[in-house]
């Protein structure tokens, strides 16, 4: 029942999403698999407004021992400053927002590769064009890991590790791919 939940998020629909320990644990495993560790300083630009993303990311980072800055997507100039001042080495959010932060830092006179410590990013909420992935990884030397979760399903559904050979599906998740027109199961 809602009164028994510590926190409830809202997804489009609306769906009311409980923040369950298993949901948070699935994020922890995914973030750890993507290379985030105790001692990392992570900028979390996930939304905190009604949706559960920002808070669940914070809980999962806390669970693996990483420090984090819960900024949400706003105040990009301040985000650039704290990334520089605090030596942020991890990022969770969209790839387009990450590129915007880098370009904003360079317009402010920084040399991003020399003046910032960002080395890894978990990319959520949007598909990264291959050209942007190459630029972030090759030019800026930031290791990107795709991440996919569903608040209504209350679980992380897939994440990319450092091997970059596709998404890992957590063992407790069963995914069935079907033809959208016929509803029949498709092959592997």
Rounded to 5 degrees, φ, ψ at 79 are -60, -45
Greater confidence (96 vs 160) lies with 96
pLDDT at 44: 92
Which residue's entry shows tokens 């291959």?
130
Query: What's the pLDDT tens digit per position in 100-141?
Result: 999 999 999 999 999 999 999 999 888 889 999 999 999 999
CA–CA separation, 139 vs 76, rounded Å? 21
Q: What is the pLDDT of residue 108?
A: 95
Is 90 exceeded by the pLDDT of residue 41? yes
Residue 2, C-beta contacts closer than 8 angstroms, at least 6 positions apart: 8, 16
Q: Which residues pair with 123 in a beta bridge?
A: 93, 146
């Amino acid at each position: 029942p809602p009164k028994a939940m510590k926190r409830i998020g809202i997804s489009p629909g609306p769906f009311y999403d409980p923040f369950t320990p298993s949901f948070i644990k699935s994020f922890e495993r995914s973030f750890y698999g993507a290379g985030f560790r105790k001692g990392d300083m992570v900028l979390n630009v996930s939304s905190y407004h009604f949706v559960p993303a920002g808070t669940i990311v914070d809980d999962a980072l806390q669970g693996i021992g990483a420090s984090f800055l819960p900024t949400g997507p706003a105040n990009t100039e301040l985000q650039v400053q704290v990334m520089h001042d605090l030596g942020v080495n991890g990022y969770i959010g969209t790839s387009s927002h990450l590129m915007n932060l880098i370009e904003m830092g360079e317009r402010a006179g920084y040399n991003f590769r020399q003046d910032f410590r960002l080395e890894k990013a978990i990319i959520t909420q949007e598909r990264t064009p291959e050209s942007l992935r190459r630029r972030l990884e090759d030019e800026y030397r930031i290791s990107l890991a795709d991440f996919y979760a569903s608040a209504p399903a209350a679980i992380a559904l897939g994440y990319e590790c450092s091997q970059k050979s596709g998404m890992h599906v957590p063992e407790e998740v069963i995914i069935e791919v079907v033809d959208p027109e016929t509803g029949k199961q498709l092959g592997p």
